[in-house]
A and B are shown apart, each in its own frame.
Chain A
Amino acid sequence: MARGIDPDEWRDCAMTLGDGTILARAACDAHDRLLSADEPLFGLQRRCGGEVPGIVAIPELLDLVRGARQTRCPVAQVIRAQDDSDAISFWVEVEPEEEGCSIRVRSWQTAALVSEEGASGESRRRVTDRHVTELCAWLDAGQRLIAVASDSPELAQVVTAMEGGIGHCWTDFLQPENVTHQQPLHWRLLDGAPVIVPGSSRSWRVSLVPQIKPGFEPSGFELLLLSDEAASGWVPAVPDPIPVQRRGLVGQDLAPVLRQPIARIVANAETIRTRLAGPLPDAYAEYAGEIASAGKLLLDLLEDMADLEVVEDDSFSTNPDFIDLAEVARQAAGILGVRAREKGIVIVSPPSDDHAPALAEFRRVLQVLLNLIGNAIRYSPNGSRVDVHVEVEGVHARAIVADQGPGLNVSDQARVFEKFERLGRSGDGGSGLGLYISRRLARAMGGDLLIESVPGEGARFILEVPRDTEA
């Protein structure tokens, strides 16, 4: 792991091995993040603005590591970097290792940065200032505004004020901080002065570039407004370098944000439908009812889609519990009792002394049974019966949901478990995912989901899970 060694001490830590002197070692992962680093690399990573662990912050080293990782070939070269005060060059060897890379540092040289002074430094500074300035204004010899240009939305307020105040001294619009003297001061005193910019919370300074004919007073100035803080609207040139792990779009991203607004739509539509908020013509109450049911359908679909992602993931597995299949069936029947009664359907659940000990994940079994019983209610005629019973046979425990609906022919029985299979139905609130998901769940638990049906005589869905043989 990362060690914080005193910079003077790291030389003593250098290891001499059979393959030469290694000053420092480091390791990167599959996303070019430095997981660990010895000094002096650790310190340089920090001074370059990076973290450990964190993406490699030394630009040349990042290129090298990325290249080595992608090509799976070891590489070695000199890396040049610079921190606050020094120019640093060091020899590194990068070797791909598992998903990432290992890094060995073999030499380390630092030299003080050459500071740029005098005319060339001055002109370079001016070029930089002109490039990064967010507002540029032209002044006459008396520092009065003659033109202003800026494309920063943050400075729109001050630009408008300045455009309306052509001919006035610039300090009327950009008040220099800590200066109470009658304005304008001599330009040399104002050059580099911090100023207050109305409408911006950043700290600013001005740079005054005189327009000088040698031997004369300046005939005018260029005023540059600069800030060392980046603008809020700044768009990063490189997208977030840390790739996101493969994850479900619907389940992890969409479902959480959609659930709440849809639930609110449903709740409000229900309020309108039941006329809780005041009297309403019948037609409008019906519309509200339709909105509510469409919203519920959307919620169900969202849950199904999220489940679909989960069960289709290669790494999906269930956590088996010791459960009583009969007890879960009774709970599922209880939950759907209200919906069944609305259609005059009777659910016959297993008697309370009936038991079917099984080894399966409780909430997944409940989910499957809710789906099966829900389907039975949805597709059975009013006033019919849904029979739920359990049995134990050999190594299996079974829950059977039998309805008195139209039943399915043999070819439909094969298709009914397919993804998005609706068997020609529509408008009944199904997504065509329920049975597909249920079968995936049953199989993930080491069981299965089967169907037995004869057209006209209803259907029997059989959930089979491993039996708890010790019970």
Chain B
Amino acid sequence: MIDQAVHPANTQAAEAALRRDLVRGDAAAASALPMLRYLVAADQSAALSEEILARVRGILSDIAGQLLDALIGTADRRAHAPDEIAVLTRAFLDDAALLAHVHAVALEWQLTERLQERLALDPVASPFVRDRIASGDASAHGFLSAQARWSQGQRRMALSVAELPEAVLEAVLAILRALVGAEPALSERASAVEREVRSSHAAVSNRLIWAERMVADLDPAVALSISQCGVTLFLSALALASGQVRDATVMATLPDQQARLALTLLAAGAPADVTEEQIRMIHGGTKLPVGLAGIEEWRAASILTNGATAQ
């Protein structure tokens, strides 16, 4: 039925809504070309592959779901409407720290699966971890169960908030606080949720903490071998030894970041031959950066920090 008598106020509201949609559409259209140019030129951008985008989206929704679960409480547990999830997920997208971490997690799992397929590298119990388990290492047990849970989660594009590094967790809680701030009843509940999440986060060691503990006093010759340690421990060891942030180390494993990976490995103290071997493991038989043998550890670190401007 067509409503002939449109109220003037309604017309204004409708016009405003149309204008808003138009602006949004224009913004999307404007960004379409640069994105298209980038994606076509980048051939197959591993960092922005469809799988990775889907995984980032999935993990963000999962985190949103966990927060909503906590907000609602166990009494009237229910599945959340896609709209509710979307509101939180959209807010998450504005936070660089969270987004970067989730991206790194997705890439790490992708690498883990790829190496399982190509090198039969166990995603949970690598040869090194098996040895440690056999020798009754308690922290190896801790790491193993955490890694098993994480792997199972990643297969479902799920990431427990307990697995987030502290800074990222704080960012997530700040977003929650900002979103529910307008409603007094909700924000009271949100503070309770915040307390719960923080205390349960503090109570258990997550996977990354266990990994760090395991590689802390490990011989770099063992720790920097991805086929021995498995992807997770290798990345933690590499970050620790090269003094880089772990998420940045994960980004260095992308196919178009081989120079960065080589320098990171060198900066971590790996000899040139080990560095080459690791790159070959990660990327298959690719063309390696040349002249790695001549670059010393401190020099590699300096190039990494100062980038292209290094003298």
CA distance A318 to B35 in the complex (A): 69
Q: Is the CB of A235 within 8 A of B148?
A: no
In the assembled complex, the CB of A162 is this many whole angstroms from the nearest CB of chain B, namely: 11
| Contact partners of A72 in chain B: CB under 8 A | 1
| Min CB gap B78→A, angstroms | 6
Asked whether A193 is an interface residue with its Cβ less than 8 Å from the other chain, the reply is: no
Contact of B149 among A149, A166, A235, A236 (CB under 8 A): A149
In this complex, how many residues of chain A approach chain B with their Cβ under 8 Å: the count is: 26
B residues in contact with A131, CB < 8 Å: 155-156
Verify A211–B120 contact, CB threshold 8 A: yes
Q: Please judge, given known A-B contacts A131-B155, A131-B156, A166-B141, whether A136 and B130 are in contact too, CB under 8 Å.
A: no
* Interface membership of chain B positions 102-129, coded 1 if the CB is closer than 8 angstroms to chain A and 0 otherwise: 0000000000000000001010110100
Min C-beta distance of A447 to chain B, whole Å: 39
Choose among B1, B125, B127, B144 the residue with the greatest number of A CB atoms under 10 Å from its CB: B125
B-facing mask of A203-243, CB < 8 A → 1, else 0?
00000000111100001101000000000000111110000
Among residues 70 to 114 in chain B, which have CB atoms less than 8 Å away from a CB atom of chain A? 77-79
Tell me whether B155 and A149 are in contact (CB under 8 A).
no
Residues of B within 8 A of A149 (CB): 145, 148-149, 151-152
Interface string of A110-137 (1 = CB under 8 A from B): 0000000000000000000011010011
Q: How far is the CA of A43 from the CA of B141 in the complex (A)?
A: 54
Q: Cα distance A222–B122 when bound, in Å?
A: 9
Q: Is the CB of A235 within 8 A of B79?
A: yes
Of the candidates B1, B122, B151, which one forms a contact with A219 in the assembled complex, judged by CB atoms under 8 Å apart? B122
Enumerate chain A residues within 8 angstroms of B79, measured Cβ to Cβ.
Answer: 235-238
For the complex, count residues of B whose C-beta is within 8 A of A. Answer: 21
Cβ contacts B122-147/A at 8 Å (1 or 0 each): 10110100100100000001001101
Bound state CA distance, A222 and B78, in angstroms?
31
Q: Confirm or deny: A44 has a beta carbon within 8 angstroms of a beta carbon on chain B.
A: no
Question: Min CB distance, A314 to chain B, in Å?
Answer: 22
Q: A212-B120, A220-B122, A220-B125 are in contact. Are A136 and B148 (CB under 8 A)?
A: yes
* Chain A to chain B: the 5 pairs with minimum beta-carbon distance, closest first: A149-B148, A147-B148, A213-B120, A147-B144, A149-B149
21 A-B residue pairs with CB within 8 Å: A136-B151, A138-B125, A140-B130, A146-B125, A146-B144, A147-B124, A147-B141, A147-B145, A147-B147, A148-B145, A149-B145, A149-B151, A149-B152, A211-B120, A213-B120, A214-B120, A235-B77, A235-B78, A237-B79, A238-B79, A239-B78
- Which residues in B have some Cβ–Cβ distance to A below 8 Å? 1, 77-79, 120, 122, 124-125, 127, 130, 133, 141, 144-145, 147-149, 151-152, 155-156
Extra pairs beyond A136-B152, A137-B148, A214-B120 (17, CB < 8 Å): A72-B1, A130-B155, A133-B152, A136-B151, A138-B125, A138-B148, A140-B130, A146-B125, A146-B130, A146-B144, A147-B125, A147-B141, A147-B147, A149-B145, A149-B148, A149-B152, A219-B127
